[in-house]
Structure 1
Amino acid sequence: MEERKDSKNILVIDDSVLIRLMAKNILEAEGYNVEAAATAEEAMLKVKNRKELFDLVIVDINLPNQNGFEFIRKLKSEEKYRDIPVMILSADATAPSIRQAVEAGAVEYLIKPFKAAELVKRVVKLIGYIKEEDHYPELKELLKKEINRAKRSNVNLSLVLAQCEGKIRVEISKIAKQVKNRLRDIDTVFEIDKNTLALVLPVTGADGAVVVIKKVKGKLPGKWYFGIGTYPDNGKDEEELINFAKESLMKEISNLKQETAERKEI
C-alpha cells in the first residue's frame, strides 16, 4: 500500500456546478484539500495567485472560452507545474479526445458520469492517500459477518453512513452512544472517523433505514448527511455495500448543497 501523506491540494475545473460539488465533496471526505473553478481563466488565476502548488489538477474538456486541452498546455508551460499530474474528467470518451489529452500533458482520464469510488481510486493512484485514521477495515469485517447472517436467513441488511458537515464540538464517541440508545439491540453504531458514523441495521430494508434516519436525525448536533446501502439490492458483499452507501451519501451532499446555492442565486 502507498504511504499516506499529511495533506494534498487538488484543483477541480468544471463549468457544471453539480460536478464541482460532487468532486469536491467526494475528495474532501477522503481528507484532501479541494478548490474549484468554473472556467480555465478562473483556474489559472488560482494557480498563479497560490503560493503552494496544487498536487493534482482535474479538468473538464468542454469549458467556456478556453477548452481543457488549451488550459493543460498553458498550465504545463509554467515550469513549476510541468511535473504536476493532470487528470481529465469528461463525458467525451472518444479515442481522439483521449489521445489529445495525453498529448497536451494529462496522465489520467475519467469518464463522466463517474462513481465516487472510481474518482478516489484514480486520485490515490496519482498523489497517494491522506494521513487520516479511519475504521473502514473494521466495518468491512463486521459487515461480512452480518451479510453472511442475512444470506442464510434470506433477509435484508442496511448500512447507513452519517456524516457531519464541518467540525463537531461533541466527541464522535458520545454522539455514537446517543444514536445507539435510539436503536434496537441488534443494531450497531460504528465510528468511522471524527465526523462519520456507520449504522449497521440487520433485518432492515431501504424503507426501514429511512425510518431510522428520521428517528436519529433530529437528535444529532450540527448538520448531517446520510447515505443508504441495502443488501442484497445495492451490493452482494461488504465492499459493494460500502461503496454504494458512499455514493448515496455524496449524492445527498451534492444535491442539498446545489439546492442551497440555487436558492441563494434566486
Structure 2
Amino acid sequence: MEERKNSKSILIIDDSVLIRFMAKNILEAEGYDVETAATAEEAILKVKNKEKLFDLIIVDINLPNQNGFEFIQKLKSQAEYKNIPVMILSADATPLSIREAVEVGAVEYFIKPFKAAELVKRVVKLIEYVKEEDHYPELKELLKKEINRAKRGNENLSLVLTQCNGKVKIEISKIAEQLKNKLRDIDTVFEVDKNTLALILPVTGADGAAVVIKKLKDKLPGKWYFHISTYPDNGKNEEELINFAKENLMKEESNSKQETAETKEI
C-alpha cells in the first residue's frame, strides 16, 4: 500500500450514502485516513472506540434521531474533543443555522453541493497540514521550551495567534519586526505563515495578553483577528495551546463573516 502523505484522521457523519462515499474518496485521495457514520449514534461509538483522537469531524445538520447540533454538543462535552475542529456540511445555509453552528462549537460551515477542490481546501485550513510555508512545528518547539520554563517557575504563559483577513500588503517579516519593537525582550514574535503571526508572552496571563493586543492592534495594516491561549488554563502542552487558539481564531472569523452577511441582508 502506498504510504499516506499525512496521518490526519477525519470522521464524516452524513445520512446520505452518496455524500459519505464522495467525501471519503476525495479526502482519501489526498492522503487522509477517513471513517464515516450514517447517524450521530454511530459516530459517537466510533469516537469512543477509536484509540487516537480524530483530527477533524465533518457533520451534517439533518441526521436521523439526533441532529448535527446535538451531536456537536455531546462531542464537545468530552474534554479530549473540546479543541478538535468540527465542520458543518449541509445544504441548509440560513443565517440562523450558521449562527447556531458557531454557538455549539463548529468552526467552519460548508454548503452542499460542493466541489472536491473546495472541500480539500477547507480541510487543509482546519487541520494542521504541514506545507512548506507553514511553521507550526517550529512554533511547537518554541512553546515547549517556554512551557517548561513556566512550569519550573509556576508562572503563566500566553500565546496570541493573529491572522490577517485577506492578503497582507506588507511582508509578514516586516510586520513581525515592527511588533517585536513594541514588546519586551523576553517576548517572541514568530511568523507562522504568510498571513499569521504568533506572539509568545512569558510571565503573562490572559489579562496581560489582552493589554498587549490592544497596544498592537492599531499598528497592524488591514483587519486582523486575534485570540489568546494561556498556559495552564487553556492547555497543558504546546499542542493544546495552539489548537485552542486556532479554533477560537476561526470562530472569531466565522462570527465576523456571519455579522457581515446579516448586515448585507438588512
**Preserved CA contact (<8 Å) 1:187 1:201:** yes
CA contact (8 A) 1:189 1:199 kept: yes
Contact persistence 2:16–2:38 (CA under 8 A): no
**Which amino acid counterpart does residue 95 of structure 1 have in structure 2?**
E
Distance 1:90 1:146, change over 3 A: same
Partner residue of 1:112 out of 72, 75, 93: 72
The answer to whether the Cα contact below 8 Å between 2:24 and 2:36 also exists between their aligned partners in 1 is no
Q: CA, structure 1 residues 152+179, in 2 after alignment: closer, same or farther (shift >3 Å)?
A: same
Matched, 1:221 2:181: no
What 5-or-longer segments of structure 1 have no aligned partner?
A: 5-57, 62-67, 100-107
Q: Secondary structure at the match of 2:229?
A: strand
**Which 4+ runs in 1 deviate beyond 6 A?**
86-91, 96-99
One-letter identity of the residue aligned with 2:42: A
For the residue of structure 2 that corresponds to 1:112, the secondary structure is helix
1:236-255 matched pairs, under 5 angstroms? 236-255=236-255
Counterpart of 2:199 in structure 1: which amino acid?
A: L
Q: Secondary structure at the match of 1:190?
A: strand
Please provide the CA RMSD for this pair.
3.8
Give deviations 1:12-31, integer Å, cap 9, x for gaps.
Answer: xxxxxxxxxxxxxxxxxxxx
What is the CA-CA distance between 1:130 and the residue it aligns to?
A: 7.0
TM-score (norm 2): 0.60
Matched residues in 1 for 2:130 and 2:157: separation?
31
| Residue in 2 that maps onto 1:93 | 40
- The 3 A distance-change label for structure 1 pair 91 and 194 is farther
Query: Paired residues, what number?
Result: 191
User: Which is higher, the Rg of structure 1 or of structure 2?
Assistant: 1
Match of residue 188 from structure 2: 188
Instruction: Provide the secondary structure at the position in 1 that maps to 2:235.
Output: coil
Query: Percent of counterpart pairs with the same letter?
Result: 65
**Alignment gaps of 5+ in structure 2:** 29-33, 47-56, 60-70, 77-81, 88-121
| CA contact 2:188–2:201 (8 Å) conserved in 1 | yes
Aligned residue identity for 1:69: S
Judge conservation of contact 2:156–2:230 (CA < 8 Å) in 1.
yes
Displacement of 1:91 after TM fit? 11
2:181 partner amino acid: N
- Do the aligned residues in 2 keep the contact of 1:88 with 1:109 (CA within 8 Å)? no
Match of 1:235 in 2: 235
Match status 1:151 vs 2:151: yes
Cα distance in 1 for partners of 2:216, 2:230 equals 18
3-state DSSP class of the match of 2:40? coil
Does residue 69 of structure 1 match 2:71?
no
The DSSP-based 3-state class of the residue aligned with 2:184 is coil
Higher relative CO (CA 8 A, sep ≥ 6), structure 1 or 2? 1
What TM-score results when the alignment is normalised by the length of structure 1? 0.60
Partner of 1:168: 168
Q: Distance in 2 between matches of 1:96 and 1:145?
A: 37
SS in 2 for 1:257: helix
By how many angstroms is 1:219 displaced? 0.8
